[in-house]
């Protein structure tokens, strides 16, 4: 029955190429399908929350092994399905405004495939089906990132995303093979109940591979470079990609399979990587002058918060932050898309010349950024309460430092773009409506914490670390005000920030070069070994050939020769026997 959730977007993907034309508008078909998907997901959440639906189908059997595909309707799955369908509906509504002059059929068909794939991923109940949808998400994101394929940068960005995420895909497939050969089942519930039966070494290996897969898909260090380049795609794609879909898939997988992660004591690895990622992303966001790229680095940092929460055993907080992040980050991307279409630029210093403080986007932007920063009473504040629930002082200090950096680049963006008063922008209905809806949810959506708490076990508290976190945000905002609003000519910190991107690019490129040189050296050694081995086999074959040529002299077919050889052999045996016996 859960498969009903998948049907509308699948039908949209099939029908748009067939009947998508002026009479049957592609945008209308996709938007209607997304609305139906949202209604079905809402109905399932209402009727089956806490019921833990599980539907299993045998795909085929081979050698006594059953290859099953299953759908899972647990609390996490149903909530994620509702979130993905809602954000998709808002993005498609915005797309009517944004993509009106672009190829309609291809865009909406690819978006339908992307949404269908992500919906399938969040309700998959077997590792086999999960991997199929995982790959479909990657392929459809490649198509959408490279949507403007005639532009070389867009084509390159699509390839880069595909190649870098393929590393994680191979790791994910390897982990699935290990788990299946150990348990002879693809069932996720069975895996979570029976992982203790797996050899500890194999289990640890599979978890390491799963972590690599999650890091790759969610653009965490060292795989983070593909996500900023993905901004070459249409802005609605960025909004969907960065909020509740592809990049959230890595965090979702770790939460879904967190019991086996915690059983192997490898969570510290996730904590370390997430801390490194968050600081790199924040510093790069401070340097960037592109509106969408700043949001992209912000997404990388926000995802690192989710990974950090998973690493400190706070999966409930990670999920709730994922939900809130989907809302306010899609809001910010839709604002960026509106500015791009109406003003034809993403450069924040060019946008500054447009005098946007009187535009209708002023307060929605402020709402989105306040939610990102966790300022009360906005939605992000409640998410920060759930993230900061820990008794680890080091964790609290690190989180406060990251909040400071987040405030620094967020207020830099706001003070730069909305610096002067003047121009008013148009309010296209298909842009205005989703932005207003997401703004309202960002303001009032914090109450979801108290509703979802009983279903996802979301811990939260208002203690000293949360107060310190807010103080860090206030300090970051004040410094941004001094640097980017009150007096832009104080360049001491800005010189440091200007060098941050170069520093990290050099470090990253050096790391890649060192890795490449190591592979090249290993290849040279392997080539030498291969040459020595082939030379040995060539010499051996030459010796064999010469020996056979010599032995052929005694195999001339002459009976007298054979009799003589036998007699000589017998005489030798007699002689040896006489000596040794």
pLDDT per residue as tens digits for the range 146-164 = 998 888 888 888 888 888 8
**What is the spatial distance between Cα 525 and Cα 520, in angstroms, rounded to a whole number?**
9
C-beta separation of 184 from 128 below 8 A: no
Task: Identify the top-confidence range among 89-103, 454-468, 512-526.
Answer: 89-103
> What pLDDT digit, counting tens, does each position of 203-226 carry?
999 999 999 999 999 888 888 888
Would you call 60 helix, strand, or coil by DSSP? strand
Using DSSP bridges, classify how beta strands 53-62 and 65-73 pair: parallel, antiparallel or unpaired: antiparallel
- Other CB atoms within 10 A of residue 244 CB: 29
% of the chain surpassing 70 pLDDT: 85
Q: What pLDDT does 135 receive?
A: 92
When comparing pLDDT for 516 and 151, which is higher? 151
- Other CB atoms within 10 A of residue 562 CB: 13
Mean per-residue pLDDT for 48-63?
83
**What is the spatial distance between Cα 375 and Cα 130, in angstroms, rounded to a whole number?**
36
Q: What pLDDT does 12 receive?
A: 93
Model's pTM, two decimal places? 0.83
**What is the spatial distance between Cα 64 and Cα 105, in angstroms, rounded to a whole number?**
45
Question: Which residue, among 161, 130, 369, has the nearest Cα to 253 in the 3D structure?
Answer: 130
What residue ranges in 379-454 does DSSP mark as E strands? none
> Distance of CA 274 to CAs 278, 297, 306, Å?
6, 13, 8
- Other CB atoms within 10 A of residue 511 CB: 11
Question: Which residue, among 264, 158, 159, 163, has the nearest Cα to 211 in the 3D structure?
Answer: 264
When comparing pLDDT for 360 and 91, which is higher? 91
**What is the spatial distance between Cα 329 and Cα 365, in angstroms, rounded to a whole number?**
10
Confidence bin at 346 (pLDDT 50/70/90): confident
User: Is the four-CA dihedral 189, 192, 193, 199 of positive or negative sign?
Assistant: positive
How deeply is 433 buried, as exposed, middle or buried, from its count of CB atoms within 10 A (0-12, 13-18, 19+)?
middle
- 53 beta partners: 73
Question: Which residue, among 296, 362, 358, 375, has the nearest Cα to 335 in the 3D structure?
Answer: 362
> What pLDDT digit, counting tens, does each position of 175-197 carry?
999 999 999 889 999 999 998 89
3-class secondary structure per residue, 334-358: HHHHHHHHHHCCCEHHHHHCCCHHH
C-beta separation of 270 from 253 below 8 A: no
C-beta separation of 340 from 148 below 8 A: no
Question: Over the chain, what is the mean pLDDT?
Answer: 83
% of the chain surpassing 90 pLDDT: 34
535 pLDDT exceeds 90? no
Q: For the chain, what percentages of helix, strand and coil (3-state, to nearest 5) are there?
A: 80, 5, 15
> What pLDDT digit, counting tens, does each position of 221-277 carry?
888 888 888 888 898 998 888 776 778 888 999 999 999 999 988 888 999 999 999
- 290 beta partners: 347
Q: What pLDDT does 555 receive?
A: 65
378 pLDDT exceeds 80? yes
421 pLDDT exceeds 60? no
Would you call 142 helix, strand, or coil by DSSP? helix
């Amino acid at each position: 029955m859960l498969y009903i959730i998948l049907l509308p977007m699948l039908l949209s993907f099939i029908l748009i190429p067939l009947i998508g034309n002026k009479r049957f508008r592609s945008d209308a078909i996709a938007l209607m399908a997304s609305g139906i998907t949202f209604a079905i997901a809402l109905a399932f959440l209402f009727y089956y929350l806490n019921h833990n639906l599980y539907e299993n189908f045998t795909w085929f059997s081979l050698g006594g092994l059953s290859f099953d595909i299953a759908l899972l309707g647990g609390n996490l799955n149903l909530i994620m399905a509702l979130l993905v369908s809602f954000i998709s509906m808002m993005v498609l509504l915005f797309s009517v405004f944004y993509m009106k002059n672009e190829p309609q059929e291809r865009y909406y068909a690819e978006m339908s495939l992307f949404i269908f794939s992500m919906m399938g991923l969040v309700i998959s109940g077997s590792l086999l089906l999960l991997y199929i949808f995982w790959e479909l998400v990657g392929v459809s994101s490649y198509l959408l990132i490279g949507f403007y394929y005639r532009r070389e940068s867009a084509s390159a960005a699509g390839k880069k995303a595909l190649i870098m995420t393929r590393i994680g895909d191979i790791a994910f497939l390897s982990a699935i093979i290990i788990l299946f050969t150990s348990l002879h089942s693809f069932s996720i519930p069975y895996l979570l109940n029976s992982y203790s039966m797996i050899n500890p070494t194999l289990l640890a290996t599979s978890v390491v591979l799963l972590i690599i897969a999650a890091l790759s898909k969610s653009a965490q260090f060292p795989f983070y470079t593909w996500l900023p380049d993905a901004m070459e795609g249409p802005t609605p794609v960025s909004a969907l990609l960065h909020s509740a879909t592809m990049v959230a898939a890595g965090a979702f997988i770790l939460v879904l399979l967190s019991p086996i992660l915690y059983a192997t004591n490898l969570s510290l690895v996730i904590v370390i990587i997430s801390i490194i990622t968050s600081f790199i992303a924040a510093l790069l966001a401070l340097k960037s002058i592109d509106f969408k790229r700043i949001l992209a680095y912000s997404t990388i940092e926000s995802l690192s918060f989710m990974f950090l929460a998973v690493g400190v055993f706070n999966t409930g907080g990670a999920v709730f932050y994922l939900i809130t992040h989907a809302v306010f980050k899609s809001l910010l991307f839709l604002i960026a898309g509106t500015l791009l279409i109406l003003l034809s630029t993403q450069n924040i210093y060019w946008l500054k010349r447009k005098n946007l403080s009187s535009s209708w986007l002023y307060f929605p932007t402020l709402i989105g950024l306040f939610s990102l920063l966790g300022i009360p009473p906005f939605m992000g504040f409640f998410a920060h309460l759930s993230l900061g629930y820990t008794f680890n002082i080091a964790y609290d200090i690190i989180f406060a430092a990251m909040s400071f950096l987040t405030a620094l680049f967020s207020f830099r963006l706001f003070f730069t773009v909305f610096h002067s008063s003047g121009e008013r922008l148009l309010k296209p209905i298909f842009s205005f409506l989703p932005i207003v809806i997401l703004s309202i949810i960002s303001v009032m959506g914090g109450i979801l914490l108290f509703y979802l708490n009983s279903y996802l076990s979301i811990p939260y508290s208002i203690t000293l670390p949360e107060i310190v976190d807010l103080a860090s945000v206030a300090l970051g905002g004040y410094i941004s005000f001094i640097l980017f609003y009150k007096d832009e000519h104080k360049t001491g910190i800005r010189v440091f920030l200007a060098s941050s991107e170069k520093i990290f690019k050099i470090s990253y490129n050096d790391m890649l070069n060192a890795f490449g040189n190591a592979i090249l050296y290993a290849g040279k050694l392997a080539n030498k070994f291969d040459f020595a081995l082939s030379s040995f086999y060539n010499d051996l074959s030459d010796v064999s050939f010469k020996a056979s040529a010599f032995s052929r002299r005694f195999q001339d077919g002459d009976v007298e020769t054979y009799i003589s050889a036998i007699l000589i052999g017998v005489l030798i045996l007699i002689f040896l026997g006489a000596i040794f016996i």
